[in-house]
Amino acid sequence: MNRIRELRKEKKLTQTDLAKCLNTTTSNVSGWECGKWQPDNDTLIRLAEILDVSVDYLLGREAITPEERAVGVTATKKENITPIEDELLYVFREVGAKRGEAAQRALIEMMEKML
């Protein structure tokens, strides 16, 4: 969970500082940052609050921070995407331009049913 390390450093917190905020050990913080183990759900929620991000962002399920979303940075500007993902994004935007947001939402629902 390198995101914990990155966010901790952005907040100018040491591992010891973060451990104290979470009432845990520096060893636990180090283990989370190295990916040896993951925090339990309650700790994950508290981590997200302290680091001012969503739990989904900490878990890697969301590519951008809330601040980036607020200023309009898209996930594709933060991550490399494959050619097929790029094509999907192009088609999705074309559907939106030609048929509107309702059609885009219908596509999302259809794709979610495939999962």
pLDDT at 94: 86
Q: Are 7 and 53 in contact (CB under 8 A)?
A: yes
Range of the domain at 100: 80-114
Compute the distance between CA of residue 5 and CA of residue 11 in angstroms, rounded to an integer.
Answer: 10
pLDDT at 66 over 50: yes
pLDDT at 76: 46
Token pair belonging to 115: 């999962």
Token pair belonging to 23: 């009432």
Q: Do 31 and 13 belong together in one domain?
A: yes
Q: Which tens digit of pLDDT belongs to each residue from 76-115?
A: 455 566 777 777 887 888 898 899 989 999 999 999 999 8
Q: Do 62 and 86 belong together in one domain?
A: no
Closest CA to 106 of 95, 90, 115, 94: 95
pLDDT at 62: 66
Q: Are 107 and 92 in contact (CB under 8 A)?
A: yes
Higher pLDDT, residue 63 or 75: 63
pTM of the predicted model over 0.75: no
The number of domains in the chain is 2
Q: Do 67 and 90 belong together in one domain?
A: no
pLDDT at 28: 95
